[in-house]
Amino acid sequence: MTFTIVSVAAATAVLGYDIMQNTQLQQSANPRVLNGAGMRGSAAAGDTAVDLFIDTVKVATIYNTSTGVPNIDDIMPIDSLYIPPNALVHAYVTDAPATNPVFLALVLEEIEEP
């Protein structure tokens, strides 16, 4: 399992912006499993939100829990959501950060096919 953090500046994270765009985590040729997600950053807890999608299916809404960079304590468990090969993971901003960068943390597991 991989605990990975993606960050974006507050000025970039406008409504509708996909935090996952142009990242290596957005797509993989192998199937994956999403086991958790969390977010920190901006000016205050709860002032930023993203909708997490696997391709076109919304799987979660995530709010920032604090300022700063997330750690494992900020992860909201997700019940092993399967991500098919080449599917895109999106994190669309639905409540833009006031100030400071936001950090989205994902727990992803890549599945090796035999």
Model confidence at 114, in pLDDT bands (50, 70, 90)? low
pLDDT recorded at residue 58: 97
Q: 105, 7 in Cβ contact below 8 A?
A: no
How does the average pLDDT of the chain come out, rounded? 93
Q: What is the mean pLDDT of residues 85-94?
A: 97
Domain 2-110 -> CATH class = mainly beta
Helix H or strand E encompassing 95: strand 89-95
Closest alpha carbon to 34 in 64, 79, 65: 79
pLDDT at position 1 over 80? no
Per-residue pLDDT, averaged over 74-83, amounts to: 92
pTM beyond cutoff 0.75? yes
pLDDT value at residue 98: 87
For the stretch 3-18, pLDDT in tens is 889 999 999 999 999 9
